[in-house]
Structures are given as C-alpha cells and as structure tokens.
Amino acid sequence: MVILFDQFHLPEDIFEVVFATEQQVIVGRLLVEEFKHNDGTLGKTEMSLFANKLHDGTTMEVIEEVGPVKRSKKIQISYNKRQFYDRILTPMRSMGMIDYDMYKKKYLISDKFNNSVKKIGLMWIQEMNKPLRQG
C-alpha cells in the first residue's frame, strides 16, 4: 500500500491519511473502535461477526461540523465482507496497524505502524546525508 499525503494539508485523522475514500475511513475507524471495546484483540470469529455486521448494514452516529456548529446524525453504512478484508483489514495488517498472532489465533491492535513510519523517516535522513555520487 502506498500512502501519499500533502504535508501542508495533512488531515488530523490518521484514517484520512491511510484510506482513500470516506467510507473506508469510517469502516477503518469502526474496526479500531471494535478492537478497543474488546481490550485490543479480536478472534477470527469476532472479526468475521464484525465483517458480517458491516455486510448486513449497521447504523452509526457521526458528528458533522458545519462551520462552528457540531451536530450528530445517524447514517446507515453497509460494506461488502470481501472488500472489508481486501481494502481495510489486509492493508491495516500490512502497514502494522493490526497484527495477527498465529498461536492465539487473534488479531491485535499494534504499534508497528508507528515504528515503520519512524524507520521511513530515518531512511529519508540517510538518503539526504549520502554523498554525491561521482560518475
């Protein structure tokens, strides 16, 4: 997965940096909230139940900002189960936001994403400091 961002218009929401569409942002946020409700872990069965709930459609409350006024409204969201695994869970796993423990058969919310972003920053500093190639 490739993350492209504009440093001058960086969103305040990490999900808006990671995902391309508003619906993906909402589903990614819902998944992380589900993890938080379950002490940071989800088994395969719980993950499947979550994906089925999204597939069948679920109602959620979102806060809308119109100028200085904030108001909440309920929206119906439906997300295809296969697309959930392909466009939400798999990218979050590959970026290190979510990890999978094969022994416990549990998905875990993870800080590996943070470590990877730090490593990318260090790679950039090393590139900047490389001497000019003579050729």
Mean pLDDT per 10-residue interval, the chain, length 135 residues: 85 92 93 96 96 88 73 84 96 96 96 96 95 82
1 found inside a domain: no
Boundaries of domain holding 108:
7-129
**Residues 93-124: pLDDT tens digits?**
999 999 999 999 999 999 999 999 999 999 99
Q: Determine, yes or no, domain membership for 105.
A: yes
Mean pLDDT, rounded, of the chain: 91
Going by the DSSP 8-state scheme, the letter that residue 133 receives in this structure is P
Q: How many domains does the chain have?
A: 1
The answer to the question of residue 134 being in a domain is: no
Identify whether 73 is part of a domain.
Answer: yes
d(CA 127, CA 134): 16
Q: Is residue 120 part of a domain?
A: yes
Residue 72 covered by a domain: yes
48 within some domain? yes
| CA atoms in the 13 A half-sphere facing the CB of 104 | 9
